[in-house]
């Protein structure tokens, strides 16, 4: 699983490429930049100043999403209870040995990451952090049942490469852990993922792109169980889906990934979905792209 190749991204932060999944951990524009734009900013952390929150970081990797969270919460005296799920220890081990990575963070953030690596936990007056190593489809069951999360980060490899993390059955387990006003945040704007979350009754929002062009319309998705109009007006980093995005959810691309046993391999999940798409009467995403002028 852990054949990894080092990458230097354009903002000067390091990342990895998984030779097993044939995918980079981050976009080449910047690992740190991606974390801040797609996870930290949409989290709207100021809401928790001098308060407490629970966070679940699924697919922890090198730990950028949690490290950036820790950094922001340390500055505002927030009490944190966090859980991270990750199948492979190598990315964090690699990150902690890497000088460029270590230089990004203050000593307390590094102490937490080191302790997670060595002891699977960290505890002080403000923070209680845990990491559960293993397949997230199983380890999610080991989180104490009474904990609901205010923020859930979902940062698996893309659905086509790692569908296990995006199946209807796994997402149902994830949503069961989301607090009523909690945010589930992912970099993915896949129609299949958005439709699955919507079918579970969540309100879906688009993380605003930094530069709007016809091919770059999203920085990901925020899903929330319940939302008031006041709350809606206060959003800075995300917005309601456009008509174009809503119509994306009516195409074959919205057919979900299924893993009924929560034990299937990539090939089986993808093949089952391709079969379902073949027999579906929904529009193709090519037709959708043509309608919205996204073809070259």
For residue 25, state whether it binds ligand SAM (rule: CB under 6 A): yes
Binding residues for ligand SAM, how many (CB under 6 A)? 22
Q: What values do phi and psi take at 80, rounded to 5? A: -125, 135
Taking the complex as a whole, how short is the minimal distance between the CB of residue 233 and ligand SAM, in angstroms?
30
Determine which residue in the list 53, 55, 87, 175 makes contact with ligand SAM, applying CB under 6 A: 87
What is the C-alpha separation between 129 and 73, in angstroms, rounded? 13
Which CB sits closer to ligand SAM, 64 or 205? 64
Give the tokens for residue 263: 């034990």
Taking the complex as a whole, how short is the minimal distance between the CB of residue 21 and ligand SAM, in angstroms?
7
Determine which residue in the list 56, 80, 85, 154 makes contact with ligand SAM, applying CB under 6 A: 85
* SS3 annotation, the chain: CCCEEEEECCCCCEEEEECCCCEECCCCCCHHHHHHHHHHHHHCHHHHCCCEEEEEEECCCCCHHHHHHHHHHHCCCCEEEEEEEECCCHHHHHHHHCHHHHCCCCHHHHHHHHHHHHHCEEECCCEEEEEEECCHHHHHHHCCCCCCEEEEEECCCCCCCCHHHHCHHHHHHHHHCEEEEEEEEECCCCHHHHHHHHHCCCEEEEECCCCCECCECCCCEEEECCCCHHHHHCCCCEEECCHHHHHHCCEHHHCCCCCCCCCCCHHHHHHHHHHHHHCCCCECHHHHHHHCCCCC
Determine which residue in the list 42, 91, 163, 256 makes contact with ligand SAM, applying CB under 6 A: 91
For residue 264, state whether it binds ligand SAM (rule: CB under 6 A): no
Which CB sits closer to ligand SAM, 137 or 177? 137
Taking the complex as a whole, how short is the minimal distance between the CB of residue 217 and ligand SAM, in angstroms?
21
Site string for ligand SAM, 129-168 (x = CB under 6 A): ------xxx-----------------xxx----x-xx---
Which CB sits closer to ligand SAM, 115 or 277? 115
Taking the complex as a whole, how short is the minimal distance between the CB of residue 110 and ligand SAM, in angstroms?
15
* 176 Cβ neighbours under 8 A, 6+ residues apart: none
Taking the complex as a whole, how short is the minimal distance between the CB of residue 152 and ligand SAM, in angstroms?
13
**Signed CA dihedral, 46, 50, 51, 55: sign only:** positive
Which CB sits closer to ligand SAM, 173 or 289? 173
Determine which residue in the list 41, 43, 45, 64 makes contact with ligand SAM, applying CB under 6 A: 64
Which CB sits closer to ligand SAM, 93 or 290? 93
Give the tokens for residue 16: 């990895």
Taking the complex as a whole, how short is the minimal distance between the CB of residue 135 and ligand SAM, in angstroms?
4
Which CB sits closer to ligand SAM, 140 or 178? 140
> 9 with 29: CB under 8 angstroms?
yes
Give the range of 42-50, 73-81, 82-90, 212-220 binding ligand SAM by CB under 6 A: 82-90
Q: Which of residues 177-206 bind ligand SAM (CB under 6 A)?
A: none
Residue sitting closest to ligand SAM (CB): 61
Residues near ligand SAM (CB under 6 A) are 25, 59-65, 85-88, 91, 135-137, 155-157, 162, 164-165
């Amino acid at each position: 699983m852990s054949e990894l190749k080092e990458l230097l991204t354009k903002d000067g932060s390091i990342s990895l490429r998984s030779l097993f999944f044939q995918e980079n951990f981050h976009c080449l524009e910047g690992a740190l930049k991606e974390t801040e734009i797609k996870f930290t900013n949409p989290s709207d952390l100021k809401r928790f100043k001098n308060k407490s929150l629970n966070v679940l970081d699924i697919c922890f990797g090198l730990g950028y999403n949690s490290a950036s969270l820790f950094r922001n919460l340390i500055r505002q005296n927030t009490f944190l209870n966090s859980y991270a799920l990750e199948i492979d220890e190598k990315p964090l081990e690699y990150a902690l040995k890497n000088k460029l990575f270590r230089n990004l963070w203050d000593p307390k953030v590094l102490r937490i990451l080191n302790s997670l690596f060595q002891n699977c936990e960290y505890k002080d007056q403000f923070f209680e952090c845990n990491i559960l190593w293993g397949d997230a489809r199983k380890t999610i069951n080991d989180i104490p049942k009474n904990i609901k999360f205010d923020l859930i980060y979902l940062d698996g490899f893309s659905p086509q490469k790692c569908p296990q993390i995006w199946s209807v059955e796994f997402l149902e387990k994830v949503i069961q852990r989301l607090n009523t006003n909690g945010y589930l945040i992912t970099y993915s704007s896949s129609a299949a993922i958005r439709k699955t979350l919507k079918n579970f009754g969540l309100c879906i929002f688009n993380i605003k792109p930094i530069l709007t062009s016809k091919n770059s319309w999203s920085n990901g998705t925020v899903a929330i169980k319940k939302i008031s109009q006041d709350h809606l007006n206060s959003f800075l980093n995300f917005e309601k889906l456009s008509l174009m995005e809503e119509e994306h959810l009516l195409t074959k691309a919205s057919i979900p990934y299924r893993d009924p046993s929560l034990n299937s391999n990539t090939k089986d999940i993808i093949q089952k979905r391709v079969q379902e798409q073949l027999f579906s009467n929904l529009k193709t995403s090519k037709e959708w792209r043509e309608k919205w002028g996204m073809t070259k």
